[in-house]
Chain A
Amino acid sequence: MSTLGLTAHQVRYDLRAFTRNPRARVFTVATPVILLLLLLSIFHSGSLHLGGHKLITAEYYVPHIIVMGVLGAAFGNLLVTIVGKRESGSLKRRRATPAPAWAIIAGDVVTSVVSALVIAAVLILIGVLFYHVTLDTAGLGVVVLLCVVSAAAYAAIAYAASYFVGTVEAAAPVVQLTTLPLYFLSGVFVPSTNLPAWLNDLMSYLPVRPLGVALQAAFVPATNAGRRFDAGALLVILIWGVAAVLFAMRRFSWGPRRR
């Protein structure tokens, strides 16, 4: 089977398993949608200032909850899935076949990217249809690019992070403990304008806040000095992705850790 054919073959089955997984549906679809609706109900008539520009709350929360959706799909859900498959012996079993490692990993990465795009589309539709959010074609293109690159990078980080998670029971708590503080400190739930400058600077070099800033710029370029596409933010995410790939190449284990 050709490279593309084998990837498509793997993605087909991984996507099927993904759609049947209640945890995946909650992580990637239900939680961001519920949170967006909750936040927009609470701050329905509010507005806020960002980069000297006034935003309605939906213009802020739609891009930032997309961050949550992408991270949930490509990092949170994938990390739990990888550790689960590793500890059940399913990954080792796949390695006992002629399937190359890249095909197995590509299945996970493409599944993560597709699910990230789906949740982003759902959140954008909610914002556009019910909360007066606007997004032009150029903005949509940037959002798609950001979602694809960041989902792939977060998936790489999930592969690298699996090295630190020994049991499937530990995987979900690790996801909560790492993502929840990042959501708060990266402005996903509340704008991070009140954070100390050093913490804001630090967050700019971690892989979550740059995605929020870049997505916000794609929706409202005025928040980013008129630049719709924040290449710097994308570069930070890419560097994290490459670093994670290099780490995973050395440390990722296919076999169960418990034996």
Chain B
Amino acid sequence: MNVTARPHGRRARWHLVLTRTRTSRARGPGRSSVTTADPARPPGTPLAEPAAAQPAVGVPPAADSPAAITVHGLRMSYGSYEAVRGIDFEVGRGEILAFLGPNGAGKTTTVEICEGFRKRAAGEVRVLGDDPAHAGPDWRARVGVVLQESAPEALLTVRECLSMYAGYYPTPLPVGRALELVGLTDKAGDRCDRLSGGQLRRLDMALALIGDPELIFLDEPTTGFDPTARHAAWEVIAGLRELGKTIFLTTHYMEEAETLADRILVIAAGRIVASGTPATIGGRATDATLVSFTLPDGVAGRDLPALPAPVSVGKNRVAEVAHEYPMRVLQPLADWAVDHGYPLADISVHRPSLEEIYLRLASEAK
């Protein structure tokens, strides 16, 4: 079946190459949340051949495979400063995990330990079944990395740069396919030092994909992007999800985490302070919803109908009511407004945003 994958309703740059059966996405904590219409196709399917009928070779089925990343009791110190203070988490195969945290929270240290770039002081880390501190080339071939800051080979062309990296891997993607995946086909002959910032980041992504990895670390992949470039990058990442790749994403953009992640992990002051789906993290699903509106002329707070929570009236006569069941506020309020002919035109129902939740979690950890 040829289905053009267009996540979030936007036109994907890679729609020509993703001709696989559309996959659906079920957000939920824990294991892989990617389900495919073809039950024979597990997460981690190689990118090399786009044909839907291609058998999955050498990839264990999701149901039997252990988590892609398991971290237990991880600690790391720099001198007397303890950057990571005993954290535990798992990333399921085929899952996109967003790892959030303020600068200095221990985020980069944790990621670099998982990438095999940094030693740890204590704890257990398994990435694709191996300890990254001692992992060899076979392990590296299964892991793709987009570093926070890295300039590709400035004096080579985009195609040459990808060809050079392809030569490092046992079963690389064809260069043309990697270019297609990130939408850089028309820049293949350009020298890397002549690319824009967004194009360089896409090349970085292509370099992470060229070895056809099972697991991809994306460290702030869209920092410095304009909104158009950011959305294009999200489409690429969402495309990788469709192919069942496991993605460990660090970002400072809450919208990015909310759009892409199956699960979010928040680290602050070296500890995991929250874990959950974008919809539920930090009690987001059960937190009170705020109903607010401007009081009509001549109406005081005491004139309002009986509501299940106290009303506070702030400046400019804006009334606010917070309650975990917003309908119990809205129903009496609506009856009252209709009966009295008040339009309440500016009424708003506000659920705490991921950013608000994140900021609360981060400040509580201080």
Interface residues of A (CB under 8 A from B): 1, 6, 9-10, 13, 16-17, 20-21, 88-90, 92-100, 103, 255-256
Contact = CB atoms under 8 A, between A and B. Distances in A.
B152 A93 contact: yes
Contacts of A1: 167
A92 B169 contact: no
A96 B209 CA distance: 12
Nearest to B204: A93
Contacts of B117: 92, 95-96, 255
A97 B209 CA distance: 11
A98 B140 contact: yes
B32 to A, nearest CB: 24
B235 interface: no
Contacts of B137: 98-100
Contacts of B191: 20
Nearest to A256: B149
Interface residues of B, number: 28
Nearest to B142: A98
B153 A98 contact: no
12 contacts: A9-B164, A13-B163, A16-B155, A20-B191, A88-B151, A88-B154, A90-B150, A92-B117, A93-B152, A97-B168, A97-B211, A98-B211
B165 A92 contact: no
Nearest to A12: B164
A88 B169 CA distance: 22
Contacts, number: 69
A24 to B, nearest CB: 9
A88 B117 CA distance: 16
A13 B152 contact: no
A92 B147 contact: yes
A10 B165 CA distance: 9
B194 to A, nearest CB: 12
A2 to B, nearest CB: 12
A16 B141 contact: no
Which 8 pairs from chain A and chain B are nearest by CB?
A89-B150, A98-B137, A88-B151, A99-B168, A17-B155, A96-B145, A97-B168, A98-B140
Interface of B is mostly: loop
Interface string B146-176: 0101111111100010011101111000000
Contact of A13 (B156, B170, B211): B156
Contacts of B156: 13, 16-17
A16 B168 contact: no
Nearest to B116: A96
B111 to A, nearest CB: 12
A98 B169 contact: yes
Given A6-B167, A92-B147, A96-B115, 13 more contacts: A10-B167, A13-B156, A13-B164, A16-B155, A17-B155, A20-B155, A89-B150, A92-B117, A93-B207, A96-B145, A97-B141, A98-B141, A256-B149
Given A13-B160, A17-B156, A97 B169 contact: yes
A89 B154 CA distance: 12
B138 interface: yes
Nearest to B147: A89
A90 B220 CA distance: 17
Interface in B208-231: 211
Contacts of B211: 97-98
Given A9-B164, A13-B164, A93 B155 contact: no
Given A96-B145, A256-B149, A16 B160 contact: yes
Contacts of B164: 9-10, 13
Contacts of B149: 89, 256
